[in-house]
Amino acid sequence: KGNHRVLIFDNPANDTTADTVLGQPSFTSSATATTANGMSGPRGVAVDTLGRVYVAEEYNHRILLFDNPLSGDTTADTVFGQPGFTTSASATTANGMTSPDDLVIDTAGRLYVADLNNRRVLIFQNPANDTTPIDTVFGQPNLTSSLVTITANGLRAAVSHSNPAME
């Protein structure tokens, strides 16, 4: 998180040196950025069955999708939660997020996002092909609410720290 990057290790069982860096121009830089090549506060990472990498960014209020990072392509191909790669406004809408904390991809390829400060979990049914709008929301009555609730259908916060590899 603090170095504003994600490191990829091609063979971590035998080699502890990172092979690819996402979010920074080099392994020795750590500046924040709101671009297709930069990050600000990455919190969660998920990899789908095709090797695409999704990164939740807390401070840019977005999810970045890298289609082929293992080939050396370190520029994000898709952005979720923002209208473009150079915007970082928080939003409580069908196309916005506020501090996404973590994410996961299920076996059907659906993307689940813990949208921390909106107190909701977002589901994208087919994220690699369709980034907007959000298909389903849990924890809020609609896509424009961020109520603090402790009920059977509400959330006080949407937090998951299941990914200790974040830097």
Q: How far apart are CA 50 and CA 88, in angstroms?
A: 28
Query: Which is more confident, 90 or 145?
Result: 90
Amino acid in the structure at residue 52: R
Half-sphere exposure of 151 (CA within 13 A, CB side): 11
Residue 146's pLDDT is 83
* Rounded average pLDDT over 65-86: 95
Single-letter amino acid, residue 50: L
User: According to the model, what pLDDT value does residue 156 have?
Assistant: 66
pLDDT at 33 over 80: yes
Residue indicated by tokens 């473009």: 84
